[in-house]
A = this chain, B = another copy of it.
């Protein structure tokens, strides 16, 4: 049996680079960049007008000129015009390029049009040289990095890449992953159920969680049959980068998973973690590099193991380790066994900005029903029995803010 910390260390020492692939930019949403996005030209590419008004020379305002003659009108996207006299201006729209010899934009709110004469009168006010211009190259110079490698590709990254002319993005490949649940007591949908059987759901739960993180895994279910389990593991070792198993890893007579794994040459790196839930977690590696996460079959256990071990490994493998999150315990809690306890909590942020994790039903029961009302696991350290309200601990969120 290893500690949570040791288990984490052993797993994190085995982060892997699964290579890269090229995707159309819009389809790269939710993935990780495998190469930086570079500005193809200055950003903005010209001195960009940031609101509608007139472009003029600031010196004219300083010199006391208040009447400006419209030399031309210029929309966004048009080649910039110019002015030739100090009392001229260009009527100009948001997004347009600054005309030659002008350096300042006065918004329409601060001027008044003299009807039919093509003249604007400047109101009294305080104007600043260069106001309302987004200067060329201020955000980035051509050739500079716009988005760093390994960044998560959210909507702003999609927009930045498209505006830099990138129709494709190089993204990190995720490992080819198979999720397998085992157990004779678990039946698929549409099959008649005896009073002592239950519906198969763990593999779908884990696979849908992976899907939320951008990884499309395959799923399968196997009976408690050592021959079938061994054959399927052999097959998956050839076809996949990662195998996630649920169930069949305890000490029972029908727990064939560890045996079948070792028979197929998967070397155990640890078996059992000093934690609750999720104690009989088996982790191993094949000589080919394939990693096997064999989680216990209890739904809360395998869900915890996915969030506490697999996802941090996945994100670290993608070059973007998970940022730690901490929360204060909502009220006093006691846990006696010498195991690291993962408490299911509901997360809330109070008006001071403090994250509070409150046990979902108060009794700290790790039942599956509680999971439905929870947002995160709160990790209580080993070697203590009492945990006080307002102490802060690391949490592993599994629901988003919105």
Q: Identify the A interface with B (CB < 8 A).
A: 25-26, 29-30, 43-46, 50-52, 73, 75-80, 91, 93-97, 107-109, 134, 138-140, 146-147, 151-152, 154-160, 162-165, 167, 183-186, 189-190, 193-202, 204-206, 208-209, 211-213, 224, 250-255, 297-299, 303, 311, 315, 322-328, 348-356, 367-369, 371-372, 392, 397-402
Which 4 pairs, one residue from A and one from B, show the smallest C-beta to C-beta distance? A77-B185, A52-B252, A139-B369, A76-B185
Question: In the assembly, what is the distance between CA of A25 and CA of B247, in Å?
Answer: 22
This protein's copies in its complex: 2
Q: Is the CB of B163 within 8 A of A198?
A: yes
**A151: B residues at CB distance < 8 A:** 372
Q: Is the CB of A30 within 8 A of B212?
A: yes
CB < 8 Å: which of B46, B156, B201, B372 contacts A195?
B46
Q: Is the CB of A160 within 8 A of B372?
A: yes
Q: Is the CB of B326 within 8 A of A350?
A: yes
Question: In the assembly, what is the distance between CA of A26 and CA of B217, in Å?
Answer: 13
New contact pairs (6) apart from A78-B185, A93-B254, CB-CB < 8 Å: A30-B212, A44-B198, A76-B185, A76-B224, A165-B193, A349-B355
Q: Which of the listed residues A52, A164, A311 has the most CB atoms from chain B within 10 Å of its own CB? A: A52
Q: Is the CB of A367 within 8 A of B139?
A: yes
CB < 8 Å: which of B95, B108, B162 contacts A185?
B95
Name the distance in Å between A155's Cβ and chain B's nearest Cβ: 4
Q: List 5 A-B contacts (CB under 8 A).
A: A46-B196, A77-B185, A93-B254, A108-B251, A155-B303
Q: Is the CB of A138 within 8 A of B367?
A: yes
Once A184-B77, A303-B155, A392-B353 are accepted as A-B contacts, the answer to whether A162 and B253 lie under 8 Å apart by CB is no
Q: Which residue of B lies closest to A94 (CB)?
A: B250
Q: Is the CB of B255 within 8 A of A194?
A: no
Q: Is the CB of A195 within 8 A of B353?
A: no
Name the distance in Å between A121's Cβ and chain B's nearest Cβ: 17
Once A96-B185, A196-B78 are accepted as A-B contacts, the answer to whether A146 and B369 lie under 8 Å apart by CB is yes
Q: Is the CB of B162 within 8 A of A201?
A: yes
